[in-house]
Each structure stands twice: as C-alpha cells, then as structure tokens.
C-alpha cells in the first residue's frame, strides 16, 4: 500500500465515523417514536394492539366440553387435558387443562378448531405479559389441581353459549402458573439449597 492510498483510507474512515455520529446526533432533536413501558403511557397498551393480535391463550373453562379437539389439533403438543370421575356423582370431570405457552407458536389452530367445531372456549386474548424466571412456569393451568371442573354440555344453538370477556381466564391462569407451578417451586427450592450450601 502506498502513502497516498494509506492516507485516503484514513480519510474515508474518518468520514464514515463523522457521518455515523451526525446521524446519531440528529436523533437528539427528533421526537421519539418509542415510549417507556409501563409507567409512561397514557392508555392501556392492549388498546394499541392490531385487531388480529394473537396474545396469550386462555380457556373459558366453564364452557369447555372437554372434547379434546384443541389438544389433538395442536402440532407441537402444547395442550394437555386429563379427566377423572366424580366419586359422588360418578360424572366425568376435567382434572387438568394445561397449555405450555413456552412451546406455543401462536398458530391459532386450536382456537380455529374450537370455534368451528366446539364452543369457542379457547381463544387468543390481548394479554401479552408472561415474563417469568423459569420456562416451565409458562405452563398456564386452567384448572386447580384439587378442583376438578364439570364438563359443559353445549346447546345446539351456538348463540346460546355464554361467552365471557376475553382476558380474565388468562390472567388467572398466569398467576396460578407463577404461584404454584411445580417447575417454579422446584427451581426456587434448588436455588435456596444452593444458597444455603454456599453460606455454610
Ligand atoms: S376444543 Fe374447545 S371445548 Fe374442546 S376441549 Fe378444547 S377448549 Fe374445550
Ligand atoms: S396456538 Fe398453535 S401451537 Fe399454540 S397451543 Fe394452539 S395449536 Fe398449539
């Protein structure tokens, strides 16, 4: 490399740096298009989401027939249902309805299947906050372990199905998942043991 090329390269490098700095500096005087979440927004963020936004899944358990269509159609086995028999009435009841949202790809197949062929109990909400310390705690639990639910008998006329508001079931399941999910409990216990060993 001769001296001229050498100094030309230095000139180009300096020019590039200055151009970059000029772009960066110009942002100081522009109105920001981002905003601080969650404490500096003037309306709930969920109201700003697009109409077809697919948020966290929820199941309105009181209109779930336990038909397992959603479970069967899910391509990656996110949904798990279990059933038992009520010891007194001998009626079939649902003992588990879990959705592993850590695996879910939000394809919406379960929602479509339930809407078309069942009651519409499973649906996407506009909820999106699912942050957790442990991946396993993203398994949303729509039935409390000790509280089995009776199966809903759907009327022939779908317009009679009492569809409730979207959101509360997802929020409740998320709280349950983060409160008493076995994965979370195991993780916390392991961490507590590690800290105790380190301290002793
Ligand atoms: S398809 Fe709908 S009604 Fe059937 S088990 Fe799933 S959520 Fe319940
Ligand atoms: S949205 Fe798709 S991946 Fe997620 S639970 Fe439903 S069918 Fe499975």
Is pTM, for the whole model, over 0.85?
no
Q: Is residue 110 part of a domain?
A: yes
Q: Number of structural domains, the chain?
A: 1
Q: How far is the CA of 62 from the centre of ligand 2 (A)?
A: 20
Length of the chain, please? 200
The protein residue with its alpha carbon nearest to ligand 1, atom 4, reads 67
Q: Is residue 200 part of a domain?
A: no
Tens-place pLDDT, residues 45-98: 878 889 899 999 999 999 999 999 999 999 999 999 999 999 999 999 999 999
Q: How far is the CA of 105 from the centre of ligand 2 (A)?
A: 6
Q: Is residue 17 part of a domain?
A: no
Residue-range definition of the domain harbouring residue 171 = 57-194
Q: Is residue 96 part of a domain?
A: yes
Q: Does the C-beta of 60 come closer than 6 Å to ligand 1? A: no
Q: Does the C-beta of 17 come closer than 6 Å to ligand 2? A: no
3 compared with 122, residue with greater pLDDT = 122
Tens-place pLDDT, residues 125-165: 998 888 887 887 888 999 987 899 999 999 999 999 999 99
Tens-place pLDDT, residues 161-191: 999 999 999 999 888 887 777 777 777 788 8
Q: Is residue 26 part of a domain?
A: no
Q: Does the C-beta of 114 come closer than 6 Å to ligand 1? A: yes
Q: Is residue 155 part of a domain?
A: yes
Q: Is residue 81 part of a domain?
A: yes
Q: Does the C-beta of 64 come closer than 6 Å to ligand 1? A: yes
Q: Is residue 99 part of a domain?
A: yes
Which CATH number does the domain housing residue 124 bear? Answer: 3.30.70
Q: How far is the CA of 143 from the centre of ligand 2 (A)?
A: 18
């Amino acid at each position: 490399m001769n001296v001229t090329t050498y100094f030309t390269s230095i000139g180009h490098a300096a020019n590039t740096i200055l151009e970059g700095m000029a772009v960066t500096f110009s942002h100081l005087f522009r109105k920001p298009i981002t905003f601080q979440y969650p404490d500096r927004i003037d309306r709930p963020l969920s109201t700003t989401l697009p109409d077809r936004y697919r948020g966290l899944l929820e199941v309105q358990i009181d209109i779930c027939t336990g038909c397992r269509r959603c479970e069967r159609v899910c391509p990656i086995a996110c949904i798990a249902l279990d059933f038992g028999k009520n010891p007194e009435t001998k009626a079939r009841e649902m003992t588990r309805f879990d959705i592993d949202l850590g695996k879910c790809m939000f394809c919406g197949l379960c929602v479509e299947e339930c809407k078309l062929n069942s009651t519409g109990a499973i649906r996407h909400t506009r909820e999106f906050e699912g942050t957790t310390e442990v991946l396993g705690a993203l398994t949303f639990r729509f039935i409390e372990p000790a509280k089995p639910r009776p199966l809903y008998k759907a009327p022939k006329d779908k317009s009679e199905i009492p569809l409730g508001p979207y959101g509360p079931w997802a929020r409740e399941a998320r709280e349950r998942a983060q409160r008493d999910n076995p994965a979370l409990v195991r993780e916390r216990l392991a961490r507590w043991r590690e800290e105790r060993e380190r301290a002793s």
